[in-house]
Amino acid sequence: MRNINLESYLKSELKDNNEENDELASVIKSIADATKLIAMDTRVTGLKQIRGSLDKTNVQGEQVQILDQISNDKLVDILAKNSSCAGYASEELKDPKIFNSSARFMVVADPLDGSSNISVNMPIGTIFGIIRNTDYGKSSFIKSGRYYISAGYSLYGPSDIFVICANNKVAEFTLDPQKNDYFLSRSEIKVPNKGSIYSVNEGNFSIWDNKIKKWLLNTKNPSGTSAKNKKLRYVGSLVADAHRTLINGGIFVYPSDKNNQNGKLRLMYEANPFALIFTSAGGSAVDLEKEILDIEPENFHQRTPLIIGSKSDVNNFLEHMTTGKKKVKENTEITPIFKWTSNSITNLRKSLNLSRTNFGKKVGVSRATVLRWEKDIVLPNYINKKALDNAFLSVKNDLIDNPMED
Ligand code: P6P
């Protein structure tokens, strides 16, 4: 594993002869390059006088930390130069930046999450999601997590690490400062089905709904002979708390409360990326009742309750939220939404009234690939299937009355 760097990993993971893969790999690499620059700053905030805040508030009405702005600027500078990146939207921007509206992908990001921890040298991170650019222009940023084709984060901690979810696999890379490159340090991360840690800000207990209080009390005082007490770990930096939960298992809970009726964390660039990562790694990600990835966003900066972790621990949480024994839909991995066969692909293309060339452009492949699909010579791969899902979802209202035969 030692000598596999991010670039060679992406080449091997996204190897199918799919025009889209190279472009997806290049966008991921651009984001990784930006996080290397951010990491260089996070190591010396006390020396470069980049602690503290600017005399500026962001669209959330929060004071902008100097490093928030620097991190956002680095991501904008690098992604604006990537011809595969159509645009970028982030916690720090009121509106998205559109670079090239006909490019394949868009990036959403929280450029520096947990910035209130900078001044006390606690772990902080960059969170991002990559969405296929289906209907071009600004509106295409408002998409549910099902449209995210990749997601990841950087954690600036004792090590600077970069975790990426691509092709339904989650892998961790560690930055070698001498080589200034990310090398594979964990491949195919899987969340343990149950963990011994719970992570929640107990300081909010008095402003929680009673069901949340009941969950916490039962977690602290488990009943039953085999019940074991869990340990509390809470950094107050989402990337740090989420990464520990991804590796060790357990549960991270940030529910809604009287001060944050819709939750505190943001759907598009905090919850959705972690939901894709945890679901792809065999864990769960829900709000108080359903999967995060199924939330249809109304606005880009909207917030949500976020509960992520081991499937068993999240199901136990959900049982406290409902009277019945409701379980998270057993979705062992992010599978494409529809079953794509030569027939259903042809039906979709004809329903869109597109030539093979233009249909290929819409789903990111060549005319020849579309022909091979329709002649059953080759099957679409995972990324192709997500693109076909998106193509269908983008016009589903027209098609819903005449569902495609399989
Ligand atoms: P609280 C950091 O400000 C952040 O947005 C997340 O990184 C973190 O999980 C959460 O807020 C912590 O919030 O209310 O516990 O301080």
Token pair 């990426």 is found at 164
Shared domain for 126 and 259, answered yes or no, is no
In a domain, 328, yes or no: no
The last residue of a domain, from among 291, 322, 353 = 322
**What CATH number does residue 101 fall under?**
3.30.540.10
The token duo for 150 is 């990749």
For residues 209-214, average pLDDT: 95
The answer to whether residue 400 is domain-embedded is no
Q: How many domains does the chain have?
A: 3
Q: Are residues 262 and 358 in the same domain?
A: no
Are 135 and 31 part of one and the same domain? yes
Least confident of 338-342, 362-366, 392-396: 392-396
Residues 298 and 376 in one domain: no
Query: Does a structural domain hold residue 401?
Result: no
pLDDT above 90: residue 36: yes
Same domain for 169 and 23: yes
Residue 383, pLDDT above cutoff 80: no
State which ligand 1 atom lies nearest to the alpha carbon of 203: 15
pLDDT, tens digit (0-9, with 9 covering 90-100), for 99-133:
998 899 999 999 999 988 998 999 999 999 999 88
Q: Whose CA is nearest to atom 4 of ligand 1?
A: 114
Q: In which domain, by residue range, is 63 found?
A: 6-186
| Residue 74 within a domain | yes
Return d(Cα 382, Cα 364) in angstroms, integer. 13
Residue 238 in contact with ligand 1 by CB distance below 6 A: yes
Per-residue pLDDT band for 1 (boundaries 50, 70, 90) equals: low
Span from the CA of 191 to the centroid of ligand 1 (angstroms): 22
Residues 290 and 358 in one domain: no
Asked whether the predicted pLDDT for residue 51 surpasses 90, the reply is no
Output the domain CATH number for residue 288.
Answer: 3.40.190.80
Cβ of 237 below 6 Å from ligand 1 = yes
Residue 333 lies in a domain: no
Q: Is 334 within the bounds of a domain? A: no
Nearest to 36 by CA among 132, 140, 154, 136: 154
Cβ of residue 260 lying under 6 Å from some atom of ligand 1: no
Can you give the pLDDT at residue 398?
55
Long-range contacts of 227-232 (CB under 8 A, 24+ apart): 228/196, 230/195, 230/196, 230/197, 230/198, 231/196, 231/197, 231/198, 232/197, 232/198, 232/199, 232/200, 232/202
Provide the whole-model pTM: 0.82
Q: What is the pLDDT of residues 230-252, one digit of tens each?
A: 999 999 999 999 999 999 999 99
